Chains A and B, each alone.
Chain A
């Protein structure tokens, strides 16, 4: 692989890793509060459609990203009402929300653009090269000639770490996920914290979806989230619920996806469908081989209600 090839590969790795990073960082905060949101996939696909419609309506990728965040948050709101508000089972609620969101986005897309799927051309989220930094050999363009969302992710990962481990907010959030009853006794409003953390996760997943539509494809396609929400949840496990590690785990998966296209471009004769299966197999292998002693928040996935 020549140096130019390597630079291209790294650039693709970061570009593909960014949406996973957004979704996984949001889910890290959500899970730290004791909620596992399997509906993340639903927020991503809603964010992709919201991003597409927003970018068309306001004729710009920036408003598209905002619209994507709102769409992702709206889907997470449905999840929150049932899983946090009513204390319903989180796994089943999340599955329902994902099924419903995939169906709803498909129906809206077909109603708006026709069942055949007229080719939709969107304002794209163009790369923004940072002068100086982007000229560093090999890694410069990979890290610093990305869409603006990438720079947001670079900032969000350390900030999320700081808030989580160095502020009283973060302490309350983690207490909610580890020992909700004790947290409530100490004056933390457990359900409010969980709702906030879940909605934040939904908005982040919405941005991830908008990034998919606006920075990658330049279009919307039904089911374009293609399981990224589930991979993001695995990424949170691999990153051991630590935002910094989660960010790097997301980049690792971005690299794996980039490798998939790269090997194909280099003419390796592996059937296309097996290429497509690769990220999922890799996720399973990574979960099996790497998780080891990492520990989930103690109250993860357990519904909680205040004592009356």
Chain B
């Protein structure tokens, strides 16, 4: 199935993505007009709030793109193997809880050790959150779409319980944890801005995934299983279950990392509703990138800009920020629609049957 959402060549993926963005912005403007808003005012507020100045771009847009980058990579990697991990949201919360727990419990450790322990714990927690749907798929044959979505709700409420109960701040007033110590905070990437090392970490993981996908035997197996699992098993002698398991758990680990990075790099405490639906936005991020790790870097920044701009749009033009979710949905639909049209054109050019 993933063959139908991942264009074969990078140039095609880029063209498709650009087309989808144009289509989306056009439709979005039309919807705003129908809703009685001024699309021009919305657009200018959006541009000002996202790329209006260098500082806006770095401290707002790029900062907002970090969780989208990490969870987008998680989703893209899973989708490439045909694993429909819709559960990045829950995995992210699991990672955030584990990370903050390590930071609060072992606050006396030296900085490098503490940071490494936090990030490792968040990967482990994200992977264990993905383990339930993984086992249900591999052992019981239950599709992962519904199970990962259900795990999202469990993860969100688990985190909410943590900040109301076991991990609530000492004062016990607000539903949040105490602030983590200096040593548990990620260093700043660009001095004088809010952008933290988490962004660089995302770039490194993107590069690593790109290398794995295109240059290693395992990456080839992932692509083969994603394109045609039965053929991969029979003709390619690939252990599809092993590939699915590793990809699913790695995807969960990266999504978990997104949660801890957000806490360690930006908020310094865990709150209820830490994530603004990032795990779902990640799907749009991954699809718009054609499931390519390199592309995810660009689309994550694009969605980071949209999220940053939406805040300005609500403040300056009085347009509800919830419109951004509509834009995200439109992006996904535009990608799907254009991809289907491309597929049927290719099919009619080659004179063969439809895909």
Contacts and interface: CB of A to CB of B under 8 A. Distances in A.
Contacts of A307: 353-354
B154 to A, nearest CB: 5
B320 A281 contact: no
Interface in A70-122: 78, 82, 86-89, 91-93, 95-97, 99-104, 106-108, 110-111, 115
Contacts of B340: 82, 86-88
B354 A305 contact: yes
A277 B154 contact: yes
Q: Which of A100, A222, A227 has the most CB of B within 10 A?
A: A100
Contacts of A111: 35-36, 320
B330 A100 contact: yes
Contacts of A276: 157, 160
Contact of B332 (A95, A287, A305): A95
Contact of B336 (A36, A96, A308): A96
A238 B37 CA distance: 45
B325 A96 contact: no
A96 B333 contact: yes
Interface in B317-351: 319-320, 322-326, 328-330, 332-333, 336-337, 339-341, 348
Given A91-B84, A233-B146, A82 B336 contact: yes
Interface range on chain A (Cβ under 8 Å from partner): 35 or more
Contact of B132 (A38, A96, A272, A284): A284
A234 interface: yes
Q: Which of B84, B140, B325 has the most CB of A within 10 A?
A: B325
A230 interface: yes
Nearest to A272: B164
A287 B84 CA distance: 17
B142 interface: yes
28 contacts: A36-B145, A87-B340, A88-B339, A89-B5, A92-B283, A93-B332, A95-B280, A96-B284, A100-B326, A100-B329, A102-B325, A103-B322, A103-B326, A104-B322, A106-B320, A107-B323, A111-B36, A115-B320, A234-B146, A234-B150, A237-B146, A273-B158, A273-B164, A280-B150, A280-B157, A283-B150, A284-B154, A308-B354
